Amino acid sequence: MRFMVIVKANEDTENFVMPTSEELAAMGDYNEELVKAGVMLAGDGLYPSAKGARVAFDGKGGTTVTDGPFAETKELIAGFWIWELPSLQDAVEWLKKAPFQTGEVEIRQVHGPEAFENIVTPEIQAQEDRLREQIAAQGQ
């Protein structure tokens, strides 16, 4: 199972307050442990919402773009990991080892093709397979 581990934003992350060298080193050590265990597939931090935008779709083909920053920091994301583990409980146990002092982190399972098995046509599956192959090739 794949999981997205979502690190929630706070006032510091929204003000682009960078971690100390010690905090950065601790996170590097933690990430190294995740990689060595074959858990971590990807992960990155995000710039504050001031460098972002939201696009709202109105259901009629129109869109509205709102530039950041966004007021509700509790609804924002400061970073993420993609992990592969056998269960949610395994993801929780790994997250408990993270070098965070405060804050909140959310874990969500990433669904795969099985979630769409009743609606995926052979054409849609072929397109999905092609896209995954292209993405894998770009990463090499």
**Structurally, what CATH architecture does the domain formed by 2-109 represent?**
2-Layer Sandwich (3.30)
Domains of the chain: which residue ranges?
2-109, 111-139
Per-residue pLDDT of 27-85, as tens digits, reads 999 999 999 999 999 999 999 999 999 999 999 999 999 999 998 777 899 999 999 99
Q: What angle do CA 64, 66, 67 make, to 5 degrees?
A: 145
Distances (CA, A) of 5 to 44, 82, 84, 110: 11, 6, 11, 10
Residues linked to residue 105 through DSSP beta bridges, in sequence order: 7
Q: How far apart are the first and last CA of the chain?
A: 23
Alpha-carbon distance 129 to 140, whole Å? Answer: 17
Per-residue pLDDT of 117-129, as tens digits, reads 889 888 988 998 8
Alpha-carbon distance 89 to 99, whole Å? Answer: 18
Alpha-carbon distance 80 to 75, whole Å? Answer: 14
pLDDT value at residue 14: 94
- Among 1-10, 20-29, 107-116, the range scoring the smallest mean pLDDT is 107-116
